[in-house]
Amino acid sequence: MTDTQQPFLAGVIEGFYGPPWSPAERLELFDWMAAWGLNTYAYAPKDDLKHRALWREPYADAEARALADLIGAAGQRHLQFIYALSPGLDIRYSDPTERDLLRQRFDQLLALGCRNFALLFDDIPDALSTADREQFGSFAAAQCHVANSLFDWTRQRCPEARFLFCPTAYCGRMAAAQLGGPNYLATLGAQLAPEVDVFWTGPEIISRDIPVVHVRQLQEVLRRKPVIWDNLHANDYDSRRFFCGPYAGRPVELRAEVAGLLANPNTEFPLNFVPLRTLAQFVRHPAAAAWRPRQAYLDAMAEWLPHFATLGEALALEDLVFLGDCYYLPHQEGDQAEAFYQSTRALLEQDPAGWGGAAAAWRREAARLLRVSGQLTGLRRRPLFHALSRRVWELREEIALLDYYVEFKSRPGHAATPCRSDFHQPGTFRGGMVARLQKLLTLDPDGTWSPGSSPATGAGV
């Protein structure tokens, strides 16, 4: 069994691919967390070279001072700081000098004031060298040996240290595919020191739902409660989107079945207010009451609204909610965005000659999104604007095209006339290599892929 006195971890893991957050952003994050009742921050940005690619190299003096300042700032706000190291890309498990390098890195962090650590083996090739296989026999056994050795060494120097481990198969789908080899998770459960917490993302890497029954089954295999590394709001896999919807798809009963909930959110820090605010509300929500994600979202949006102060006309809350609904969660749009999409689809499926007043009603809704996207250009918080601008401008261009099409087709005698836009031309709109490649395969509703259709030459539209 795991340590019974260890506190529930609730907070944020900076564990995405992309530019790490700045010191100022992390301090703002710490202030949010302290105010909202979250207690844990894990440092694991994939693109800190010395976290992953150059894990053998110690931090230089300036880098170490910055980490010491960050650790101190977390401590001042009574937040647990977890330092994570990710050596799995090229570690030689059977080489004792590699374990020495791991200890040297943790020793450097101990000297900087860190007291909690994680060893991550996610997103790596699941193959062993001949020497490693001869010594350990399996991928899981090799990782357990290294992790247990480092855990024992760390606990000797810091008896209260919290120690976490991220497996190579870190979601249900990966485990079912036997990533890491046969019985990978069962071997971890049997051989990993019972005091070591294990990260898990749920049934999928980005899990729409994390059912209680799923976690209880996992407990039997791991022989401990997992810590959820929650990618619900992560957007590093899709640079066109961000997610500002609520913490959802997790029942309140889940809290009793896990050792912690750590959100790995949007790469762009300013976009994480609502995701983290609603996570904090979820963590403190009464156990006997049903969790209402939509209401939590609306409440958090009202709190986020002051961040949208502009040089001109004030942004209305209802318009911010509409915009946020367009960037809600990976698997669903918000209520207003979904309604807008359905009304758009229904309109375009009809003969324009019979649109009547439906076209004018649709254009009024489109005008709201066009107006709010224009208002964002005057945001006083420029980092927030920069995080939003390219994505929202893409939405604006699509709405502008639809609006032009509906207006054109509504003109007398134009219902059957081909529509062309001077501002949406082949190559310059929906163009480029990625857009062309995306047309070659079609993702069907059941999750399968099939050949699509695309012009053989040209930039395409």
Extract the tokens encoding 225. 């409660």
Phi, psi (degrees; rounded to nearest 5) at 60: -70, 170
- DSSP states of 341-386: HHHHHHHHTS-GGG-THHHHHHHHHHHHHHHHHHHGGGBS-HHHHH
Q: Which residues pair with 429 in a beta bridge?
A: 426
- Catalytic choice (95, 123, 126, 403): 123
Instruction: Tell me which amino acid residue 305 is.
Output: L
- Contact status, residue 460 vs residue 435, Cβ threshold 8 Å: yes
d(CA 290, CA 307): 29
Phi, psi (degrees; rounded to nearest 5) at 85: -125, 140
d(CA 155, CA 187): 22
- Contact status, residue 164 vs residue 227, Cβ threshold 8 Å: yes
Helical pair 96-111 and 139-157, crossing angle rounded to 10 deg:
40
Residue 289 burial class via C-beta count within 10 angstroms: exposed 0-12, middle 13-18, buried 19 and up: exposed
d(CA 62, CA 33): 26
d(CA 245, CA 320): 12
CB atoms within 10 A of CB 176: 10
Q: Longest Cα pair distance anywhere in the chain, in angstroms?
A: 83
Instruction: Tell me which amino acid residue 8 is.
Output: F
Angle at CA of residue 50, ends 117 and 260, nearest 5°: 30
d(CA 254, CA 8): 12
- Contact status, residue 236 vs residue 18, Cβ threshold 8 Å: yes
Instruction: Tell me which amino acid residue 227 is.
Output: V
398 CB-side CA count, 13 A: 10
123 is catalytic: yes
Q: Which residues pair with 82 in a beta bridge?
A: 42, 116
User: Which active-site residues does the annotation give?
Assistant: 123
